[in-house]
Amino acid sequence: MWDFLLHLSFWDWLALGTVLLILEVFGAGGYLLWMGIAAAAVGVIKFLVPPLGLEWQLLLFAVLSILTAVYWWKRQRSSGKTSDQPGLNERGTELVGRTFVVHQAIVEGRGKVKVGDGVWMVTGADTPAGAQVRVIGLEGVILKVETV
């Protein structure tokens, strides 16, 4: 076994890189991607510099694995791309500021308003059915309203 490790060829590194990339496809969450790329890079370096010793190969593999992972992590953190639809997946935020008709009277702070073809629970001051209210906020899926 030790003799095999002392005589690693560039094919061995490329095969390791390929195996790691294939395993990444099965859902490793990105961890094996960078190690696979690092192994392939060591294979290319070993091809270009054939007398490269095992110690240098392993050191290159470790350093390249860490560098590629850190590079990607920093790139992901710094992207900070804002969405063109900031309220996406935040149900109800599009209703803030709009006015609706009270469907079921608000009694003791609770009632319902009709929004489109649905009915939403609301909290606010006591208001009779048929009155207009404006949505001023959101608590989970319950709209906070004020009388218009």
Report the pLDDT value the prediction gives residue 144, as an integer from 0 to 100. 96
All CATH 2.40.50.140 domain ranges of the chain, comma separated, are 93-147
Q: Which residues of the chain have pLDDT under 70?
A: 1-2, 4-6, 80, 87
Q: What are phi and psi of 49, to 5 degrees?
A: -125, 80
From CA 11, how far away is CA 16, in angstroms rounded? 8
In CATH, what is the architecture of 93-147?
Beta Barrel (2.40)
Say if CB 30 and CB 23 are below 8 A apart. Answer: no
